[in-house]
Each structure stands twice: as C-alpha cells, then as structure tokens.
Amino acid sequence: MQRYRSILSLAATGMVFLLGGCGSADIAPIESARGQFGDTVRLGTAYDIPGRSARRESVSPAIGASGVEGYVATVWCKSKSNFFPVRVVMDKEFRVLSARVLSYSSRHGREVRSPRFSKQFGGKGPQDPVEVGKDIDAVSGATSSSSVMADGVRRAIRAARRAIAQ
C-alpha cells in the first residue's frame, strides 16, 4: 500500500515513471515539459550526466510534433547538509525556460525554493556564466545553496549540449 501512495504522490507532483535504457525505471518530469512546450511533447531517451553527484542525473530531449523542442534535465545539488534535486527545462538553443527545486529537506537554505530566486535563471544559456555574484543574486539566508543551485543549472546546460553531440 505504501508503494502505491508513493507513486500517487509522484504523479501529483508532476513526475511520471518512464522506462530507461537498461530496463530500470527512471523518474522524468514530463509534465514540466508539457507545461513549457505543449501537450503533444514527449521525452526522448535520457542521457546520464557524468559528474560529482552520487545520485543519477539525466537530460532528456523534449520531442514534439516538429522534432526536438528543448531539453529537460534533473541535476542533484549538494548543500551544506544534503543533496537536493533541481529540474531545468531548456529550449532548443539551451536557454533556460525554468529551473525549479523539486524538494529541499534541510532546514537551512530553503529560500532557494522561492520562485523569485528561480526566475533569475530564465533566459540563461551556454554563453552566460550562471554564477552567483556575476549574473545570479544569492538569496539571503541561502548563500551556499544559491551557489550550488547555480552550479547545477550550469551543469544541466552543458549536459544538454553534450547530449546533442552524442
């Protein structure tokens, strides 16, 4: 029964199970892609993002009627005490359409969940530094988490570009 409640809670947050390449279930944010690109979009094959995180990170193309319309990446950012997942939705030119903290369990630094902070990432692309103190303002009370989230968004942009090259 607990397992079904977990699946229902994931569905309620806009998460859907997709089967990955090795037969294992991969959680991907297709509802977010649909919100940005329209109802006919589907996610393509998820590419693993190599990196420092002990958790699985991936980027998937958002495929619509006219082909690839953008990318959806999930990256894990390490705060002082915990990891937290960030979903980044990008257009075809790898410009950020949205960046959102999916969950944040630590008591300190929760301010990075604020829409006002997340809006700063909109429009950032491969040519932008995406760095606190340069083109991103840190949130008071969450300076460290602000920096690691900016790093995560920057990694997501780079990973999407690498996925294209494959």
Condensed to tens digits (0 to 9), the pLDDT of residues 133-164 reads: 999 999 998 999 999 999 999 999 998 888 77
CA dist 9 and 15 (Å) reads: 9
Render 8-69 in DSSP notation, one character per residue: HHHHHTT-EEEE-TTS-EEEE-HHHHHHHH-TT-EE-PPEE--SS-SS--EEEEEEETTEEE
Which pLDDT does position 10 carry in this prediction?
A: 30
CA dist 3 and 82 (Å) reads: 24
Residues 6+ away with beta carbon under 8 Å from 12: none
Name the percent of the chain lying above pLDDT 70.
72
pLDDT average, residue stretch 36-56: 69
Which pLDDT does position 144 carry in this prediction?
A: 93
Mean pLDDT score of the chain: 77
